[in-house]
Amino acid sequence: MQIDTPAIAASPEGRSTSMRQWLAVIAVAVSAFAFVTAEFLPVGLLPQIAHDLGVSPGVAGLMVTTPGVMAAIFAPTLIVSAGRMDRRYVFLLLTAVLLIANLVSAVANNLPVMLAGRAMLGAALGGFWTLATAAAPRLVQPKDAAKATATILTGVTLATVVGVPLGTFIASFASWRFSFAATAGLVAVALIAQALLVPSLPSASALRIADFRKLLARPHTRLSMLMVALVFGAHFSTYTYIAPLLEQDFSLSTITLLLFGFGLVGFFSNALMSMVVSGHLKKSVAAMVLLLLGAISSMLLLEHSIIGETAGMLLWGIAFGALPLCFSVWIQRGTADLPEAGSAMFVSIIQVAIAVGSAVGGTIVDRAGVHADFTLGLALALLGLVALQRLAAWERPARASAFKRGYDASPD
């Protein structure tokens, strides 16, 4: 079943993507930057927000958990409800909701109001990422599909380079409320860019619940989603509470620099990975998961070592800068016949990992401390690596079986 019809007429395979098409990709990347900045802004501000709202850091972690839950619910729900609605208008609607969500968070005077704003963010986030990862190949010529996906995901790494550290910096001389207000201004810019540059993205037919069942019937898809959940769970169960860990040894201004360094190396990691991921997907995924393992291990083993924790943050940035791209390409290849369904499932499983990881991590931080939380993250990353090894062992017979059925269910 064909889900989408390209917004731009088909052209010869070798034709280059036009500047107008790349500007559309950049507009979506700006929106991705705004969404990720808004989603993870509380990470660098957790102690201050928790103090002002009168809650513990673990409870304040619900600011990350709540959007994850809502995004997991709305990723498949919204894309099914949207039917054949032009995806351009869905993009605009979701970004407008994000704008309102940040304004609500900026004026929140208690935790329930804050969580209401964060819930709005999550609802918009789930739909946005489902559309963004599925729409990337449609905005450019076929040969530039992977590069378009990497460009949009650059918005993610730029958010960690500039957005989240900038929010922490603003809070250091103004307040965390002003950080949310400034993020709302960023979202307004993204909304204008979308309105001016993103072309019509009509859908040839509506997505059906049966499409999700079809994908879940494939063993490779199920195991791939489990791998993604474990690795993202490892990251967010720990990274959400990185500020309480670092504030034991670093000042707020130094933590801002560390978050900047995390994002900066992640930006270059994403850019470099976009050049090799298409030809070496399994090796790329394995290398980045191993780096994540090394980073979390160093934060555990070298705790209270300024050099050790700094090195761990940089290794972590390299790993997580590339992992979203690696996993996105992995899922795109494994669900090429049902791109929007695959994208929705991918977004949902990531958001479940964010929600469960941050919630469980918060409980552990409050009851057993940050060290125990990072031990959990290390265990989840190890399980993710085991899942990848199982996928590699499973791939050859699965590919032969898929060939007989007329599709390729494996990513390479």
pLDDT score for 112: 92
Cα 152 to chain centroid distance, Å, stands at: 11
The rounded distance, in Å, linking the Cα atoms of 98 and 72 is 16
pLDDT score for 412: 55
Cα 171 to chain centroid distance, Å, stands at: 24
pLDDT score for 7: 41
The rounded distance, in Å, linking the Cα atoms of 214 and 338 is 9
Domains of the chain, with CATH numbers?
19-399 (1.20.1250.20)
Rounded to 5°, the CA angle 368-36-375 comes to: 20
Asked if 20 contacts 196 with a C-beta cutoff of 8 angstroms, the reply is no
pLDDT score for 5: 35
The secondary structure of 138-153, three-state, reads HCCCHHHHHHHHHHHH
Q: Count CB atoms within 10 A of the CB of residue 192.
A: 13
pLDDT score for 405: 52
Rg (C-alpha) for the chain, rounded Å, is 20
pLDDT score for 14: 56
pLDDT score for 41: 83
Phi first, then psi, for residue 203 (nearest 5°) are: -110, 130
pLDDT score for 227: 93
pLDDT score for 6: 37
Q: What is the rounded end-to-end Cα distance, in angstroms, of the chain?
A: 22
pLDDT score for 204: 59
The rounded distance, in Å, linking the Cα atoms of 106 and 104 is 5
Residue 207: left if φ>0, alpha if ψ -120 to 50, beta else—which one? Answer: beta
Q: DSSP for 342-399, please give it.
A: HHHHHHHHHHHHHHHHHHHHHHHHHHH-HHHHHHHHHHHHHHHHHHHHHHHHHHHHHH
pLDDT score for 360: 87
State the 10-residue block means of pLDDT for the chain, 412 residues long: 36 68 88 85 82 83 83 78 79 92 92 92 86 79 79 77 75 84 90 89 71 85 91 88 80 80 84 82 91 90 82 91 87 79 82 81 84 90 91 64 49 54
